[in-house]
Amino acid sequence: MRGGDGGAARHLPAEEPCPQGKIHEAILEGVSSESELLLEGRLKRQAPEIDGKLLVNDVPEGFVPRPGAIVKVRVTGAHDYDLVGRVVA
């Protein structure tokens, strides 16, 4: 696409592949506003208040969630805007 940008669109980075099935570091933000059975957080690539969120629906036995904690999460699903995952040990 070439508009008035002088061809700058050609130099944008390629979109990252879908993170589903992979393990990523995520920051936990607390209990989800959608359900008290879910935790909410985000991957490094998700900007707060701009991108969707990560909904965590499974954690290891004995796991104690702490807002601000960095955890490893396997992304198990994707919706229109949000990702779903589980904390891995």
CB 52 within 8 A of CB 46: yes
Q: What is the mean pLDDT of residues 72-87?
A: 94
> Rounded to whole angstroms, how far apart are CA atoms 54 and 59?
13
Is the pLDDT at 6 greater than 80? The verdict is no
**CATH architecture of the domain covering 17-87:** Beta Barrel (2.40)
Mean pLDDT of 78-86: 92
Residue 51's nearest CA partner among 79, 11, 72, 31 is 79
pLDDT one-digit tens code per residue, 14-72: 455 667 889 999 999 999 998 999 999 999 888 888 899 999 999 999 999 999 999 99
- Give the domain ranges of the chain: 17-87
CA distances from 74 to 3, 19, 23, 88 (A): 40, 9, 4, 7
